[in-house]
Structure 1
């Protein structure tokens, strides 16, 4: 019997959570991620594209394979695109369209100006209208040093998640493969939401 999906909420009262993000799929020849909990080594999330272009469409799943979020690049018909954007939807958006015949409203939208190393996250209500600015985020990253930061922008800039290259446990400590990241999610931030944002930054870089 299939387990029910783990909840994907906007906020969490848990302490700082330490995760390891391996930018590799568990599927042969797949493009995705596998995310582990540093506390016990268990799988927390899987990310797969299932034959789609992983830079345009990916599914964030819990350890049981239940889809938590669909992350999709927005299509733009303009000849000259000076920005790019992504939208994230709760659950499997393609399955929702098959059963209900309509596209669901996004949970959030990420927008980046061309040439920028940061992007803005706008959150939406279930009715499709923008949430208050207190639920907006700013993501920044470094291409060369492989780090990411996510800040909640109001009422003051607050660091809610960060990722960087991961060090091994040996002494002296050495950096692991470039596809292995250490992700820290701070109290007040949902780790699934943070992981979806990391996926987007990796595609925008």
Structure 2
């Protein structure tokens, strides 16, 4: 059976700190190469749906485990040990599909919100991310997401129009192609990997073929 996670072995302690968002002030950290994660649309737990995410060494870094009978409007992104990193919750009375993202397991003072973008003048844009830090009523667009999540081909741009994260198909290994349930998440140093994976979770809720 073809392995889902890659076999490349290149890492450093500062690289891992950046991956988990533990250090964002060092100039060396800002010059790091992109973090390449392999995302598997599958939970490690039986009777659950979710995500399993590996780093370039094949180590588990993120996971999402949703029971089939659980709350379909709330998803928790965890690290490898099961510690809650982000809670993704659908905004009440949202017609177009707006989601709020909170730190940890809290559901007050959202860190940012993600809204499905409906604009026929800009068909490439599928969602925009607004920062709600300080006051949920004062929002500023932090990221714009373009492409197609269904095709696993998306780019996240920051407010300076820099590509900070990308969702792309995983290359075939040994002539065996992966389906849409296995893909890459390429994260640039300008965005935290936890945030980038949080955006993947939101996009899956908005555009995924299967709901958790």
TM-score normalised according to structure 2 size: 0.75
2:36 equivalent to 1:28: no
Secondary structure of 2:44's counterpart equals coil
Secondary structure of 2:48's counterpart equals coil
- Alpha-carbon spacing, 1:143–1:131, altered in 2? closer, same or farther (3 Å): closer
Name the counterpart of 1:76.
93
Secondary structure of 1:203's counterpart equals helix
RMSD: 2.6
Name the counterpart of 2:181.
179
Structure 2 distance, partners of 1:104, 1:160, is: 27
Structure 2 distance, partners of 1:7, 1:41, is: 16
- 1:84-140 Cα distance to aligned partner (Å, 9 max, x none): 2000000012xxxxxxxxx4100000111458761110012245454655xx10112
Name the counterpart of 1:52.
70
2:153 equivalent to 1:147: yes
Secondary structure of 2:184's counterpart equals strand
Unaligned runs of 5+ in 1: 1-5, 94-102
Structure 1 distance, partners of 2:117, 2:136, is: 23
- 1:15-51 Cα distance to aligned partner (Å, 9 max, x none): 200100000001101010000002x110010012244
Structure 1 distance, partners of 2:150, 2:87, is: 28
Structure 2 distance, partners of 1:178, 1:36, is: 16
Contact 1:84/1:114 (<8 A) preserved: no
Contact 2:126/2:145 (<8 A) preserved: yes
Structure 2 distance, partners of 1:138, 1:35, is: 23
Contact 1:72/1:86 (<8 A) preserved: yes
**Alpha-carbon distance, 1:182 to partner:** 0.9
TM-score normalised according to structure 1 size: 0.77
Structure 1 distance, partners of 2:128, 2:80, is: 29
Name the counterpart of 1:62.
79
Name the counterpart of 1:43.
60
Q: How do 1:129-148 and structure 2 match up within 5 A?
A: 130=138, 133=141, 136-142=142-148, 145-148=151-154
Number of aligned positions between the proteins: 179
- Alpha-carbon spacing, 1:131–1:104, altered in 2? closer, same or farther (3 Å): same
Residue of structure 1 aligned with 2:198, choices 182, 196, 199: 196
